[in-house]
């Protein structure tokens, strides 16, 4: 990695190096960068992890699971993901409440 000279810091990037985004890129980035879409994806993933954890727990209780570590790891992943989703939700609610307080 080279460090540019002080005079080069304020230079303009040539237009040929900058590629404009395509319509597909713009649609993908707009759809994937929204907060509700991110939260929906996180909740869907959480439901999938909890379902896996539940099915492995049932298999462990009935004796159909040969490796108990798999059930323990799945339960821990579901728990940590739940805590993360709850923390993000709480921060979002706090930010919303702060914005509402600023408007009053």
What would the pLDDT profile of 31-60 be if each residue is shown by its tens digit?
557 878 888 888 999 999 999 999 999 999
Q: Model pTM?
A: 0.61
Q: Does the pLDDT value for residue 11 go beyond 60?
A: no
Residues 5-32 as b/e (b if ≥16 CB within 10 A, e otherwise) read: eeeeeeeeeeeeeeeeeeeeeeeeeeee
Report how far apart the first and last C-alpha atoms of the chain are (Å, whole number): 50
From CA 52, how far away is CA 65, in angstroms rounded?
Answer: 13
């Amino acid at each position: 990695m080279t460090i540019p000279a002080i005079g080069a810091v304020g230079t303009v990037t040539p237009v040929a190096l900058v590629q404009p985004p395509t319509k597909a890129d713009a649609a993908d980035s707009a759809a994937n960068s929204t907060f509700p879409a991110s939260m929906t994806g996180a909740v869907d993933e959480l439901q999938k992890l909890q379902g896996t954890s539940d099915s492995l727990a049932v298999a462990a209780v009935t004796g159909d699971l040969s490796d108990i570590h798999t059930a323990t790891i799945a339960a821990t992943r579901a728990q940590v993901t739940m805590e993360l989703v709850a923390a993000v939700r709480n921060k979002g609610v706090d930010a919303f409440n702060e914005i509402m307080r600023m408007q009053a």
